Each structure stands twice: as C-alpha cells, then as structure tokens.
C-alpha cells in the first residue's frame, strides 16, 4: 500500500473511531464514494478494534508480547551464554550472548516457544539464516551459526553496538541525500 493510501486509511479510521458505532457505516459510504477497497480497509481496522481488544489479541504475537522472554541471563544455549534480552517481535526473540569458544559477544535470534515444534517456522528460520549468510555487506550482520538446543531453534549473528548502527545509518542517509 502506498504511503498516501495508508494515510487516507489512517485518517478515515481515526475519524470513524470518533463517531458512535451505528454512524460509522454511513460515514464511510459518504467518505469513500466508489472505493469499496478503501472502505473495506477502514472497516477491517474498526472491526479489529471494536471489541476493545488489541489488534494482536488472539494471535501468536499476543502470547509473545504478554510473557517474559523464554531465556534469561545466565542460561546456556549450546556454546553460548545468554547475557540478556535485546528485543522480540512476531518472528522471535533476540538476545545478547557470549560465545564461550571464541570469547566474543553475539546476537542470538530464537523462535518463540509456541513455535518450537513447528516445522514450517523452523524451516523459515533456517532459510533466513542461509539467505543472510549468503550476503556480504557492511550494513548486513554476519551470520555465524544456526542450531537447535533442546526445543530452541536459533541463529547466531554478529552483534552490532548502537554506535555502529547509528554510524551505518548516518552514512546511508548521507549517501541517499547526496
């Protein structure tokens, strides 16, 4: 969806939310004359929020966001020691870890526990690792390893410090602006 289109959906959604539920249909018919697709987009957003639940309720993402990270500082994962969580989202959790063999810090991405036995998700994680490891670019992290320890499937990659990330982003933006 193009940015202008998304902005239109967003504006209509916000305006419709301000109205009583029984007036929203008429509002959208008037606001989207001849554009059933636009009206449908806004209606689907309204429907998703009408129950008062978050958009992610009932999805695998809600269980990920509501629970504590699966691993904690001090946990072992193969030859790696977890130092702490870095982030999580719909496709997994990312941790800062210590490579005990090579004595360096790394990032480890794991699948959420709910997907531990899901062959399709595990295959997708492995494809992601293979695709990223085939690339060599200063703005793409290097993949060091993939593995499975017990029920935890994971990718081990280079850990970028925030300073390196900001410098890389600044350089890219500067090249783009030039």
In 3D, which of 143, 72, 152 has the Cα closest to residue 106? 143
Ordered per-residue pLDDT tens for the chain, 178 residues: 677 888 888 888 888 888 888 888 899 999 999 888 889 888 888 876 664 444 444 444 444 445 566 889 999 999 999 999 988 776 788 999 999 999 999 999 998 887 888 889 899 999 989 998 898 887 788 999 999 998 899 999 999 875 544 555 555 555 555 4
Closest residue by Cα to residue 7 from 38, 37, 43: 38
Please tell me the pTM assigned to this model.
0.56
**Residue 157 structure tokens:** 């990659």
Spatial distance between the Cα atoms of 23 and 21, rounded to a whole number of angstroms? 6
Cite the beta strand spans of 23-127 per DSSP E: 76-77, 80-89, 92-99, 104-110
Residue 13's pLDDT is 83
In 3-state terms, what secondary structure has residue 12? helix
Task: Give the residue among 61, 63, 82, 65 at the shortest CA–CA distance from 73.
Answer: 82
Which 8-state DSSP code applies to residue 120? H
The 3-state DSSP class for residue 136 equals coil
């Amino acid at each position: 969806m193009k940015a202008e289109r998304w902005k239109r959906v967003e504006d209509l959604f916000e305006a419709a939310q301000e109205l009583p539920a029984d007036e929203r249909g008429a509002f959208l018919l008037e606001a989207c004359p001849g554009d059933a697709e636009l009206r449908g987009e806004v209606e689907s957003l309204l429907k998703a929020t009408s129950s008062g639940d978050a958009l992610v309720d009932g999805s695998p993402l809600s269980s990920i966001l509501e629970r504590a990270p699966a691993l904690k500082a001090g946990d072992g994962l193969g030859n790696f020691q977890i130092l702490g969580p870095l982030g999580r989202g719909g496709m997994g959790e990312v941790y800062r870890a210590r490579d005990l063999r090579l004595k360096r810090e790394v990032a480890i991405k794991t699948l959420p526990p709910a997907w531990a036995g899901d062959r399709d998700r595990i295959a997708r994680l492995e494809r992601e690792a293979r695709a990223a490891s085939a690339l060599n670019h200063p703005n793409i992290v290097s993949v060091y390893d993939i593995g499975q320890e017990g029920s935890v499937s994971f990718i081990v990659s280079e850990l970028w410090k925030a300073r390196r990330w900001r410098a890389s982003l600044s350089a890219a933006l500067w090249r783009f602006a030039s």
